[in-house]
Amino acid sequence: MIFTVPGMLWTLPLVGVPIVIHLLQRRRFRKVQFSAMEFLQRALRRTRRRILLEDMILLLLRTLAVLLLILALARPSSEGLPLALGRDARAELIVLDASMSMDFRNEDQSTYERALAIAGKRLGELDAGLDDRAAIIRAGLATERIASGDPNEVQAALRELQRPDAVRGDLTGALLAAIRTVSDLALETGQVRVTILTDLQANLWNQDSSMVTPLEELVALGCAVELVDCGVPPRNNIAVTALTLSSARLVRGDSCTANVVLRNFGNLPKDVQATLLIDDSPVATRKFSLSALEQRDWNVPLSPMEVGARAVEVRLQHDQLLADDSRTATLTVDDGLQVVLVGQEASPQQAPGVFDALQRYLQLGEQAPLRPRAVPVLQLTPADVAEADLLVLADPGTIPPRVVQTLVPFVARGGGLLLAVGPQTGQAELQLLLDALGSVGVGVGEVVSNQESPARVAIAAPEHAALRFFSDQRWQPLLTEVPHYSYRPIAVDPRAATPAATVLRFLTANAEIDSGAALVDWEFGYGRVALLAAAPHGTWNRMEEVPGGTLPLLYDLLFSLAPQPGYRTAYEVGASLAVTLDFPPTDTELINPDGARRSQVAAVSILAEGRHRLELVAAVPQPGIWILNTHLLLPDGAEAPLSLRLAVVPPALESDLRASTPEELRSFLPKSIRLGRPEDLDDEGFINNHLPRDLMRTLLFLLLACLVSETLLATMLDRRRT
């Protein structure tokens, strides 16, 4: 026991005052003999013991009252008592939710800051001198035990914690870590209290939550589990939940659409202004009035002219949760796609064929988005395809094995290949290449000719990227009404292990009978292959007479085959940040959204297709645009610089701040778990039963009881003795 005002203990001799008064009061009486004294003495001898006991009780009560008054004024505390006289040692295990939603600010304080304050208060109630122990487990970007052991050291570690992470915290993993930590904090006596500090997000704390099982195990271990809601209503929030681009790669002059999804997660209507930017330059701004819980889409056309890796971002006016008020995406703008056109020009004595028609369509000048270069099939070498984006085999005839060995690695690494068949190229000429490209179940038929009832093509996959121009029904006749007098139908076996998608099909003119596919495509490795039987040919069809339909089909088809970036267009915070490159990288540098540079990368691995996977960050910690600068080591020994922009976005689910109610939680959580607001849990249960206490109030109550008892006893004795 310790005393807050130890100076009052010097007045302890005053405890003897009631004894002195008692003795003095006995000695002041004078003895007088009278005739009836003998009878009185006989009566006193009979009641002497009772009177003496009553007087001693009065003296004890008066002495005890003075002692209690002195001790109360000295302000004693139970702290410092030996364990046998005070309390058992105890342990406090804090599980701290450090997810993005905890950064929501209300009343100039974030939910996370309130959680830290509560944790600090509970750790401050521990005493290392009483063998108390503590631990903190943080569920943020990673589940980590911040500190464990001495309460003072754990509290010092708590003060080092800053903001929560822009991630969906793994509370299940944190509770599993808590189960392991309970055994580390094992006490010979006393109890371990597990305090979970969170905002009780409804989409996380629900009946299907994986956290129920570890909570039940903590209760089974004998822990006192408390679930503390650190959030403060109202929890209104407007967020950008998605930013997607219809194409992650464009050729200069082409366009795509940015789709922005805004959502009001609050119960009140709210106005907000959204701005779309490319490389921090605004391109569109719009104001929205969102009703309660409303979601709104905003589509913005983009046609950037500057070549390179571009950063697309949407920003909202800031509200109480900043992390979801912006979202980013990346867009690669090329100066033009390098196309190698493989085939043979028709001789002057021959009618122009597929090669001649495609060459005219693709050669549209230096500023055209496609940059073609013609190479005869027998002269095609690996050097011709090394820097190509697309290869077009225009009715090439027989393809030698040497050329097949050049084409297959090109597609596997991500290149695009268009096979346009015609009079010179059938199944026999393509068999070796089709087998090498994994096209099991795809076959090219014999030539079908019908001058009187020509076939037409029909759209089989309206959403396919090769038919982007024809999504407008007004332009579909430019494609679907063109007569085909001769063609090679493509057969597709739906039972094949490697499926090929049918994009266009041939229909006979009379009965609209499906007579084979006109365009199919499939994936191979990282690239894509298309087989086209409806290629422009002067004597086979009328496609060259309808350039308004033929040209968009060819260009959109080639763009759909263009190599895509070897990385995802968006990474979520906490995911592995990695890219796939065609050639080995050197001198790699990564710049985070704050401008900090790091030159260390996790690993470089070689994939089966000869590409290289560059592991940059095992768990990316921050949303925004990350910039990768590196050099690619080309086969000839030269180095080509490469700069990529990678978009990292916060988790959309963390924007929904609505909390589970106590009634909902009690329906599936273990019954012994105490849950509520901090103020509801501080004044009862584990805390006051085990903490050192100020004993002054207790002593004053005892003093009052002594005084009341002494007064009642003295009054009763006076009445009986008179």
| Residue, of 197 and 38, whose pLDDT is higher | 197
Instruction: Specify whether the CB–CB gap between 504 and 469 falls below 8 A.
Output: no
Domain boundary among 561, 587, 617: 561
For the whole prediction, is pTM greater than 0.95? Answer: no
406 shares a domain with 290: no
425 shares a domain with 525: yes
643 shares a domain with 716: no
From the CB of residue 548, how many other CB atoms can be counted at a distance below 10 Å?
A: 10
Distance CA 340, CA 391 (A): 5
pLDDT tens digits for 180-201? Answer: 999 888 665 567 899 999 999 9
365 shares a domain with 308: no
Site of tokens 């779309």: 276
Distance CA 95, CA 112 (A): 12
586 shares a domain with 479: no
488 shares a domain with 385: yes
Distance CA 585, CA 579 (A): 11
Tell me, yes or no, whether 33 lies in a domain. Answer: yes
Tell me, yes or no, whether 73 lies in a domain. Answer: yes
For 689, phi then psi, to 5°, come to -75, -20
Instruction: Specify whether the CB–CB gap between 140 and 167 falls below 8 A.
Output: yes
Instruction: Specify whether the CB–CB gap between 98 and 139 falls below 8 A.
Output: yes
Give the pLDDT of residue 657. Answer: 94
Site of tokens 């109550």: 701
**CA triplet 458, 460, 462: central angle to 5 degrees?**
105
Give me the CATH number covering residue 553. 3.40.50.880
Question: Largest Cα–Cα distance in the chain?
Answer: 171
Give me the CATH number covering residue 270. 2.60.40.10
Tell me, yes or no, whether 135 lies in a domain. Answer: yes
Domain count, the chain: 5
| Residue, of 531 and 719, whose pLDDT is higher | 531
19: left (phi over 0), alpha (psi -120 to 50) or beta: alpha
Tell me, yes or no, whether 665 lies in a domain. Answer: no
370 shares a domain with 305: no
The CA-atom distances, in angstroms, between 193 and each of 89, 218, 226, 230, 690 are: 12, 10, 8, 18, 11
Which residues, 6+ apart, have CB-to-CB distance to 447 below 8 Å?
A: 423, 426, 486, 487, 488
pLDDT tens digits for 290-332? Answer: 999 999 999 999 988 888 889 999 999 989 999 999 999 999 8
Distance CA 719, CA 580 (A): 104
Q: pLDDT grade, residue 551 (50/70/90)?
A: very high
Q: Is the pLDDT of residue 134 over 80?
A: yes
Work out the average pLDDT over 394-406.
Answer: 93
For 703, phi then psi, to 5°, come to -60, -45
Give me the CATH number covering residue 104. 3.40.50.410
Give the pLDDT of residue 12. Answer: 72
Tell me, yes or no, whether 362 lies in a domain. Answer: yes
490 shares a domain with 352: yes
359 shares a domain with 315: no
Distance CA 148, CA 178 (A): 11
509 shares a domain with 397: yes
405 shares a domain with 325: no
Give me the CATH number covering residue 596. 2.60.40.1220
Give the pLDDT of residue 85. Answer: 42
Q: How many CA atoms lie within 13 A of 179 on its CB side?
A: 16
Domain boundary among 513, 541, 561: 561
Q: pLDDT grade, residue 626 (50/70/90)?
A: very high
228 shares a domain with 296: no
Q: pLDDT grade, residue 51 (50/70/90)?
A: confident
Domain that holds residue 326: 238-334
Counting other chains too, the contacts that 55-59 makes at CB distance below 8 Å and 24 or more residues apart are 55/22, 57/713, 58/710, 58/713, 58/714, 58/717, 59/18, 59/19, 59/22
What does the mean pLDDT of the chain come to?
86
Site of tokens 């035990």: 145
Domain boundary among 199, 234, 269: 234
Tell me, yes or no, whether 620 lies in a domain. Answer: yes
pLDDT tens digits for 242-287? Answer: 999 988 888 887 888 999 999 999 999 999 999 999 999 999 999 9
For 448, phi then psi, to 5°, come to -110, 125
Tell me, yes or no, whether 536 lies in a domain. Answer: yes
Start-to-end Cα distance in the chain: 46
Tell me, yes or no, whether 681 lies in a domain. Answer: no
